[in-house]
Structure 1
Amino acid sequence: MAASLISATGSAMATLALAYSVIEEGGGAGDLGVVLAMNTVPTVVFLLVGGVLADRVSRSRLLFLGNLLAAVAQGALAALVATGHATTASIAACGFVSGTAVAFTVPATQGAVAQIVPAEQLQRANALLRLPTNAVKVLGPAVGGVVVAVSGPAWALAWDALTFAVAAFLLLGLRLDAPVTATSALSDLRAGWAGFWARTWLWTYTVAGTVLVAAWLAGFQLLGPVVAAERYAGARDWGLAQGAFAAGLLAGTVVCLRWRPYRLLVVAVAAGAPLAAPLLVMGWGLSLPWLLLAMLLAGIGLDVAIVAWTTAFQQHVPQGELGRMSAFNSVGERLAIPLGYLLTALAAGTWGNRTVLMACAGLVVASAVLNLCVRDVYRINAVKRVDAVAPDQAVERGNAPRR
């Protein structure tokens, strides 16, 4: 938890600093789209490797190495920006290294929590893990906006690098046993794909998430800073908007600590729809207070969705498959992001930023509604007892109920 908290203090400012690093170099939506795409491509390419490793080696060791690699990448980027040598190509290169680090930490994180916490306590544990990091995010973007506006993005990027390094050092104290495996990595990958495809609720959620995440990030991370620079007061107001979003995340975490829904996957799907609100507000050209309110509501919905989904995933996928299932899910949701960034950058030049924002909002809502039409979504519910066996675990043990 300490490692996550410290890392969050830097990550809360990093996105804003990255966006304005590109803008200060004279780049627009197209250049920012290239940078964000290059940050995502290596994650997609190496995520399956990270998923297989998370089910074969110590997950704590993977988390340490991933944070250390991210520290090196962000430190190099901060140095380039500070010395005035940053270009779109060099910023994208550092993003490529950071994206590679993410490919190994994402699958390991999912499995590490489930390896430590009993199944019936997973929702509370997931919410508690997000509580301090979300609390930091409330002030982080606003502080980051001030830092970027006053002294430039290099200082915010340097702080992000330092927090990754400290997190890596703290993770040295976490010792998780490596799984015992007797098969080859390729066999594990094939078995993982078979298990992923056999779970209808998992692959349909992944497909819907591919559309939702791509539309949200394209509108929020790509067009958001550009619209803020054009219509609002640039980095300062965009920092306030991100702070409101973080406040919503914190409020959503508090909701998850007090509310334990039974239909976890239904809640996870429905709670993603409010992400359309900020995109609509920017698309309609409404004033800053409306944007802050929309960001707050979107943050609440997103955090409820994340905690509910993470808990459902950890409870209904066997421990030995968590790394690979997480990798397949993450690949699906991240695969459309580079293409989404590039297409959005091109579309914004043809139809305008506001029209594209409205289209992204429509995709967010449509993906949630269509996913709720999948019958299997209503089968993935909360595990309430220590001795409860999730449906997919029952299949693994040969005790699957007849359907």
Structure 2
Amino acid sequence: MSSPTAGLRPTPVRRRRPAWAGRNYTLLTGAAVVTNLGSHGALIAAAFAVLESGGSGGDVGLVAAARTLPLVLFLLIGGAVADRLPRHRVMVAANALNCVSQAAFALLVLAGDPQLWQMMLLTALCGTGTAFFNPAAEGMLLSTVSGEHANRAFALFRMAMNGAGIGGAALGGAMIAAMGPGWVLAVDAVAFAVAGVLRAFLDVSHVSDRAPGGGLLADLREGWVEVRTRPWLWGIVLQFSVVVAVVGAAEAVYGPLVARDRLGGPAPWGLALGLFGVGTIAGAVLMMVWKPRRLLLVGTLCVFPLALPSAGLAVPLPVWGLCSVMFVSGAAIEVFGVNWMTTMHQEIPEDKFSRVSAYDWFGSVSMLPLATALAGPAESAFGRTQALWGCAALVVLTTALVLVVPDVRRMTRRPPAPKAPVLPTASRATVPAEPTLPEEPAVTAAPALPPTRG
């Protein structure tokens, strides 16, 4: 007598895809890669567009400030909007605004003789789009990843994003030298368009309606409560309000000037920024296998090396030396970033991700417009070398001060919550289920400075 199962094909064993490799995660990562390819080169291109039009270091600072000022003005509103509306729609709308503003900037530069006020206006529009995009993007990523895979997912996301930054910065510097900054800005506009299309295909059918019952002011108050009741959060946000300001001013204003006067032009500076990206990849690889128990203590200690690029520009180091310190600082900030994002994912309620992220970004960039606007006058008053040494000293001082906060030293990684057992139902009992392999074990993982703090 034949077996009841004779002639039946064996059921294939299907491996369940982990959360970090899902459709939304893949689309988010792909879009981030595309935008970073364009934006890292465009940041360099904007500075050299100002310089090639006859602008000074102070003018470069004004254009950089015009980009960051809308971040300060609109980030909190952007966070509240992103927790009310579908986050992917907010992201697509922001990408569309950035695409239009960068395309107009490119046409202006390619046509010749752009005016300072025109460049400031267009970069301000781009900054406005970024103010709405950043909280929505961070909230979308945090809500896409499950706790058990958070470390691996965040590390891989940041690795891909920063890897694109390497190519974008190096390619952007080379393109500026060969073709001028206008074409690099045009590439950035195309990149925003492609990224917007990718984000439009995000699957949000599983996302419930998150819109709170109150108005925007009530939403902002809820987000503020989440921040002020967590000393580790507001302490590090205050720290980064200084760190981002001085590092951002050094890179946006003094970096291109040192490159023009001492390093031979935009290509070496693009290479140095590219090595910063290589360092972030090295840091992400490290975080794939290293799970420090004290998340914020380790992360904060890794902020100290961010003083190295300013010091390297102050000396100034030769190109290979500057590239070396940029690599080290990139690896260090990535360790901070992964630990920071893991902490946010672990400690912040999902329905408040975007609002808390908005306060994080708001605090972090609040001083950046002032710092970039004052970079030129500071150079005139104290000299470029002294201004750069001051930037390095402020990074060291503020990072040392935040270590005084007990929660920063004591915050520890929590193990993922155990999954509830799945009980068989009548329908499941009648049909044999396909066997699945267990999900991959969690490896650890977590958010950057403008342009990459997160």
Matched, 1:293 2:324: yes
Is the CA contact 2:37–2:167 (under 8 Å) kept in the aligned structure 1?
no
1:13-162 to 2 correspondences below 5 Å: 13-162=41-190
Question: Of 246, 258, 276, which aligns to 2:307?
Answer: 276
Distance in 1 separating the partners of 2:289 and 2:114? 46
- Contact residue 28 and residue 226 of structure 1 kept, 8 A: no
Q: Which amino acid aligns with 1:348?
A: E
Residue number in structure 1 paired with 2:443: none
CA distance in 2: counterparts of 1:271 and 1:105, whole angstroms? 27
Q: Does structure 2 conserve the Cα–Cα contact (< 8 Å) formed by 1:17 and 1:148?
A: yes
> For residues 311-364 of structure 1, what are the alpha-carbon distances to aligned partners after superposition, in whole Å with 9 as ceiling and x for unaligned?
111211111111111111111111100111122221101111111000000001
Q: In the alignment, what sits opposite 1:242?
A: 273
* In structure 2, C-alpha distance between the alignment counterparts of 1:253 and 1:269, rounded to whole Å: 16
More displaced stretch, 111-120 vs 71-80: 111-120
Letter aligned with residue 54 of structure 2: G
In structure 2, the residue matched to 1:7 is 35
Normalising by structure 1, what TM-score? 0.93
How many equivalent pairs are there? Answer: 388
Q: Deviations over 1:148-173 (max 9, x none)?
A: 01110011110010010000011111
Specify the code of the residue in structure 1 equivalent to 2:413.
Answer: A
The equivalent residue for 2:215 is: 184
Distance in 2 (alpha carbons) for counterparts of 1:287 and 1:160:
30
1:59–1:112 Cα contact (<8 Å) kept = yes
Cα pair distance change 1:191/1:97, threshold 3 Å? same
- The offset of 1:235, in angstroms, is 0.7
Structure 1 partner of 2:264: 233
**1:124-166 C-alpha deviation (Å, 9 max, x unpaired):** 1111111222222223222211110111001111001001000
The corresponding residue for 1:208 is: 239
2:399 pairs with 1:376: no
Task: Give, as a single letter, the amino acid of the residue that structure 1 aligns with 2:38.
Answer: G
Give the letter aligned to residue 197 of structure 1: R
Give the alignment partner of residue 386 of structure 1, picking from 402, 417, 434: 417
1:316/1:380 contact within 8 Å kept: no
Higher share in helix: 1
- Per the TM alignment, residue 286 of structure 1 is displaced from its structure 2 partner at its CA by 2.3
Q: List per-residue Cα deviations over 1:55-112 (Å, max 9, x = no partner).
A: 1111111111111111111111001000014221111111111111111111112211
Q: Give the superposition deviation at 1:268.
A: 2.0
Report the AA paired with residue 384 of structure 1.
P
Q: Matched residues, percent identical?
A: 36
Q: Any conservation in 1 of the 2:61–2:252 contact (CA below 8 Å)?
A: no
Find the aligned partners of 2:142 and 2:168 in 1 and give their Cα distance.
Answer: 29
Q: Which has the larger radius of gyration?
A: 2
Amino acid across the alignment from 2:127: G
> Structure 1 stretch 270-279 or stretch 171-180: which is displaced more?
171-180
Q: Aligned residue for 2:378? A: 347
Q: Secondary structure at the match of 2:367?
A: helix
Contact 1:118 1:386 in 2 (8 A): no
**Alpha-carbon deviations, 1:257-287, whole Å to 9, x = none?**
1212221111221111111111111112222
How many angstroms apart in 1 are the aligned matches of 2:41 and 2:112?
A: 20
Q: Give, in whole Å, the separation in 1 of the partners of 2:392 and 2:258.
A: 15
Q: How many Å separate the matches in 2 of 1:284 and 1:148?
A: 26
> What is the CA-CA distance between 1:387 and the residue it aligns to?
4.1
Which stretch of structure 1 is more off in the superposition, 135-144 or 124-133?
Answer: 135-144
1:175 CA drift (Å): 3.0
d(CA) in 1 for partners of 2:165, 2:215: 41
DSSP 3-state at the match of 1:57:
coil
- Code of the aligned partner of 2:168: G
> How many angstroms apart in 2 are the aligned matches of 1:378 and 1:120?
23
Query: Cα offset for 1:380?
Result: 2.6
- 1:133 and 1:194 mapped to 2: Cα distance? 31
8 A contact 2:166–2:275 mirrored in 1:
yes
State how far apart, in whole Å, the 2-side matches of 1:52 and 1:277 are.
36
CA contact (8 A) 1:144 1:239 kept: yes
Distance 1:23 1:266 in 2: 41
Stretches of 4+ moved more than 3 A in 1? none
CA distance in structure 1 between the partners assigned to 2:399 and 2:43 by the alignment: 26
Give the TM-score, by structure 2 length. 0.83
Separation in 2 of the partners of 1:22 and 1:157?
13
Distance in 2 (alpha carbons) for counterparts of 1:302 and 1:118: 24
Distance 1:180 1:191 in 2: 13
| One of 190, 193, 199 as aligned partner of 2:224 | 193
CA distance in 2, matches of 1:141, 1:162: 16
Distance 2:356 2:61 in 1: 28
CA–CA separation in structure 1 for the residues paired with 2:336 and 2:271: 23
2:140 maps to a residue whose letter is A
Consecutive unaligned residues of structure 1, counting only runs of 5 or more, are 389-403
| Alpha-carbon distance, 1:240 to partner | 1.4
